[in-house]
Structures are given as structure tokens and as C-alpha cells.
Structure 1
Amino acid sequence: MASYKETTMLLPLSDTRTFGEMDWQYITIHNTANRVSARSEAMYVHSGKSEVTYHFAIDDRECVQIQRLNMSCWHAGDGRGDGNTKSVALEICYSLDKGDSRYPVAEDNAAHKSAKLLLSKGFGIDRLRNHQIWSGKYCPHRMLDNNGWEPFKRKVAKYMEELKESKKTRLSTPDFIEKIKDGAIKGWETHGILPSLTIAQAILESDSGNSELAVRANAIFGIKASTDPSWTRIYKKKTSEWINGKYVEVLAGFKSYKSWDESIRDRLLYLTTRCINGAYIYKNLIGEKDYKRACQKIYDDGYATDPKYPGKLINIIEKYKLYEYDKVDIKGSDSMFKGFRIVGYFNDGDLANALALVNSLGASAILVKTDDFKSYTGADELIQVGGYDIKGATKKIIGIDRADTLSKVGKYVESIKGGTK
């Protein structure tokens, strides 16, 4: 069975070695005719010394994506023909020396990657091409030397069947939604983050719960451990990052969780407490009820660099009608809030202290603005954090400054735990 790591080292959008955007219809197979790895091939293309570009370089251990699938490359030697403008290019490494034992493994990995790509578009092996078909060049030479083109196509077909079978065991998106929707809805009650946004981000970032991080670390948002030095459960995974003008492979630590529900709660905490240079960068998300505005805001606040990120989230929300979960209204009869503590923050400066209390109290706490206390009559407590005395609060935690308020929040939590409220 093929085994390789998939890495992304994309060319900048400003790179001119392309015929522009494309809707790919074919896969073209090449041999690199040298002795270097896929990563080295990618770095050479990035250096600008090569006139040729391609989408993937693949070796015995790694498949490196160099160009976006919706962008054409210069690889097939047919000018503006279908080879260059309508096909995805796969370069198989270590093909120069006939005795190189790494090449057969790389070719097997290329067959597997080709199968995945074809299945992603619903294509069959009739969409598979080699370089020679487009321009007459004797490439991929190792396959052509050994009459290996037809066996390669058969191997791709075999992998397609295996992948179809394995896909049956994947968690479907509707099933994934069913597993996380309650936590997302609760997140609106406790942190004011729209359920549709939470679910859509989880679908996008975890491949509907099927990603490595989701399966092995219960991490459906991929939050780096470096964002929280106090976090002790860490899952380490190799990834490529752009450092000092080039891609560098690093071993990154991601937060690991006991459950997907814990991953959701931590992501809610991240969005509502992430503070840079004294500013809570996602505070405008709290209480946003329009999913389109929420998707745009989280991008504008710097959560993602992909300009298409808001559109991707909106498409997911509309495809699966996730906006229906935004219609759950937690405000209603007094009895709805029995057993809950309502934590109100006076203004944005008090938000961090209020959130510290909410996360200490757990699922029984709901975060609101103190102005909204009137909507939560019947709750066990209406706790004001910071600010001036607010009418309706049954408990006030107000210090002489915010540091003193935080200290009093801690004492209050301890009093609850000790039963001395």
C-alpha cells in the first residue's frame, strides 16, 4: 500500500510561469530524470531557475504540491494545448538511475495520488496521460523503457477501487454535523459564537472529522499549542511553514483533546480571549447573528490568510443548511435558565475576567452583557463581573481595578467548590 506524507509548498500567486486559471480535465505523468527528492525539486522550482512548473513532485516518502489545482503549469510542451492548460502535472522523482530502489516506491505513490485526484473529480483512468502523448517527448522515460505505462494505469485503477472501498468507512459530513452540533449550539449560549460558523469551520479544518488531527488528537480546529503555554496535552506533527522567504519543514505541536466537544470549547475560548497588544482580536464575533457577516469578520480579524476563506465557510453553511442551528433561541421562559449561572461583563475590558469565570464554572454558565440580564430571569444567579452596580445582578464581582476583579473571580470560584457561596 502506498505511504507518503502530503506537503504544500505553493508558488506565490505572482509567479508568471502559468497560462492562468484552469478547470483541470486530465492528469499528466512525468519522470524528473535526476537523483533528488520531491522537496528538492519543489525548492528548485521556487528558486525561479526552472522554466518548467508542475503541480506535484512525488518521491518514496513525500508528495509536495507546488502549484494550485486551479492554475495551469508549463510542463507538457504543447503550448496552450490541453496538456499545459487542462492537466495536473505529477513529477515522479529518483527516475534517473535504473537501479535506484526508491523509484518503484515513488511510482507506486504516484499511482495512489493519481487515483485520489481522479476520484476527487469523479473521473476514470481515461483521463490519465503521460508527457509523450501531449508533445512526443520520451517521458516518463522509466515507464516507457519498461513498457510500464499500461501497468501503471492498471495500478491507478486498483487504487481507485481500494479508495472507494475505504471511503465507505469515512465519517460523512452529515454524521459529523450530528456529532458536534450540540456543542456548537452551546457555544452560542456560553460564548456568543454563531453555531453555523463553529460547525462550518470544523468541517473545513478537520475534513468532517476525518483528518489526522481529528482522528488522533480529537482536534477539529488545529490550534497550535504555542498559543497556550499552559496546555500539557500536545500532538506533534510535521508541517511546512514559510520562514525567512522559504518553506521549512518543522515539527509543530498542536493541542490534543479528550473529545471533540473539548476541542470545540477550547476553540470558543480561543476566539473570545485571544488578545494581541492589548486588543481582543475576535471580540466583534461575539453576539454576531448573521452568518455571512460572521464568516467575513473572522477572516478580517486574521484567522485565515486565504481570501476565499469566507466564501468557503458560507458555501458549507448553505450547502448543509447550518443556518438552521442559528435559529435556536435560548431566551424564553424563566424555567429555561434554572440550573444556570448567567455571567455578565460590563464592557469589553471586563470580558477576559468574565470568560475566566465562565470557563471555571463550565457548562452551567452562560456569558452575556450585563445589559441583557433582564432576559435571563429565573437563573440560579446573575453574576456581574466588573464595572458599576447593575440593577438585577444577584452577585457582583467588582474590584478596585481589573486585576483585583480577577482575584475576586478566583476567590468566588473557590468558594463555590468549597460549598461556601
Structure 2
Amino acid sequence: MSNFTYRKDHIPKGTACNRRPGFAMKPTTITIHNTANEKSSAANERAWLTNPSNKVQASYHIVIDEREAIECIPLNENAWHAGDGSGSTSGNRTSIGIEICESGNYTKTIDNAVMLVAQMLMERGWGVDRLRRHWDWSGKICPRLMYDGGTWSKWYAFKAAVQGRLNELKKEGVASVSDKVTVKAYGKQIKDGKLIDGTVYVPLRAVAEARGDQVSWDNNTKTATIYK
């Protein structure tokens, strides 16, 4: 089983070349890329997004290597990674872009990417039919290390591996690429919050009780009621 860390290091709004425009996005697909840089790690790729010498208007949501995955742009905002403009149905406006690094132990990196993508699909209730190549949006040969002279055999192998891991996760009942968060409500801290795909979820009872209210539950009608 792959083992890597997932961390968030979002580039600031206002980053040069409009790399984080902040357009709200409800993603419907996940797009896979290669970095096309044989020496660059995930940390290097994240740093490149805010490097003053970088003059390219391009960005991505997540970059992953043999050690870690870094979320560079919130997954509920768009990034410029698909090369197909800014239309409402473009990959740039509807798809989460994942860059797979080519440096270091690429086999381990692919294993990590399989795990990450499977987790993301599981969390959203999606299947591998939601996966896209950069190629699918703009015809660019990317992810280039999956091209195989036009056969895309490694792309289909990647999808099959994701499907296999997804099947395992379903058996295990695992579905999480989320963070625990602390919520402050009415001057009190609630420690049971979770951040899932840009949305914070907290127990209803904890919020109500922080306000001094009570909650009742009717199991017959499946109704929760908040009252003074």
C-alpha cells in the first residue's frame, strides 16, 4: 500500500499571471498530467507557481511525487491546467488537475497517484469514468509518460490500477481525503468538524448546544429538531 503525506500549501490569490483566479468550481472530473520535468519534485513544482521568474499562466490543483501530495489551489476553485480556455464546460472550469512528477522513484509516485485518485473518487462517489487526460481536453500529449507512441497503454493501465484500488477501498469502507477542523460557534470551540471538498461539516447537536439550545431526534420520522 502506498504511503505519502497530503498537505495544503495554497498559492495566494493575486499570484502573478492570474494563476489562482478564484472562480468557484463544482468539479465533475479529475484530469491527470505529467510535469514534463525529470528533476522536479512536488515541492519544486509548488514553488514554481509563485516563482517570480515564472511567466506562464498555468496552474494545477495537486502535485504528487514519491513522498507527498501538495494541494496548491483549493479543489472548489478552478485552475488553468487543461489548455481549453475558460468556457463553462471547459476542463479548466470543471476538472481537478493533478500533476504527476517524473523525478525520483516514478514507480512509487505512480503508486501514490493511484491511491490519491482512488481516494478522491471514493470520497465523491465517482468511478474511473470521471478520469481524464490533458489530451482529452486540448489534444496535448499529456500525461506524456502514459502516451506510449499513441497507444496510451500506460494510461489504461493507470485507470485499471485506480479501479483496483477503488474496489479495495469500497470493501474497506474508506472514503476520505479530508482534514479535521476546529469550528468556533457562539464563542465555543467544536473539535469534531471535517473539511471535505471545500465544505465544513460539523455535528448538528454540537452547534446547537454551543448556542444554548437542545436537539431532539425522532427515529420514526428521521427528524432532528432544535429548540430552546
TM over 0.5: yes
Give yes or no for contact 2:14–2:20 (8 Å, CA) kept in 1: no
Work out which of the residue numbers 163, 174, 177 in structure 2 matches 1:157. 163
- CA RMSD across the alignment: 2.9
Structure 1 residues 202, 143: closer, same or farther in 2, change over 3 A? same
The structure, 1 or 2, with the larger RCO (C-alpha pairs under 8 Å, 6+ apart) is: 2
Work out which of the residue numbers 276, 299, 323 in structure 1 matches 2:208. 323
- Residue of structure 2 equivalent to 1:17: 19
* 1:97-131 Cα shifts (integer Å, max 9, x gaps): xxx6x111111111111111122221111110011
Structure 1 residues 168, 136: closer, same or farther in 2, change over 3 A? closer
Q: Which runs of 5+ in 1 are unaligned?
A: 171-192, 208-307, 329-421
- Residue of structure 1 equivalent to 2:2: 2
Q: Which runs of 5+ in 2 are unaligned?
A: 177-183, 215-228
- Residue of structure 1 equivalent to 2:72: 66
* 1:114-157 Cα shifts (integer Å, max 9, x gaps): 11112222111111001111111111111112611111111111
CA distance in 1, matches of 2:172, 2:186: 31
The aligned amino acid for 1:17 is R
Structure 1 residues 21, 169: closer, same or farther in 2, change over 3 A? closer
Structure 2 length-normalised TM: 0.74
Give yes or no for contact 1:196–1:322 (8 Å, CA) kept in 2: no
After superposition, residues 15-414 of structure 1 pair within 5 angstroms as: 15=15, 16-18=18-20, 20-34=23-37, 35-48=39-52, 49=54, 50-81=56-87, 82-94=90-102, 102-145=105-148, 147-167=153-173, 197-198=188-189, 201-204=190-193, 312=200, 316-318=202-204, 320=205, 322-323=207-208, 326-327=212-213
Give % identity. 34
Larger Cα Rg: Structure 1 or Structure 2?
Answer: 1
Instruction: Quote the offset at 1:163 in angstroms.
Output: 2.2
Bigger strand fraction? 2
The aligned amino acid for 1:316 is V
Give yes or no for contact 1:41–1:57 (8 Å, CA) kept in 2: yes
Secondary structure of the residue that 1:148 maps to in structure 2?
helix
Give yes or no for contact 1:196–1:323 (8 Å, CA) kept in 2: no
Structure 1 length-normalised TM: 0.42
- Residue of structure 1 equivalent to 2:223: none
Structure 1 residues 168, 67: closer, same or farther in 2, change over 3 A? closer
Give the count of matched residue pairs. Answer: 193
- Residue of structure 2 equivalent to 1:414: none
CA distance in 2, matches of 1:62, 1:109: 8
CA distance in 2, matches of 1:121, 1:168: 12
Bigger helix fraction? 1
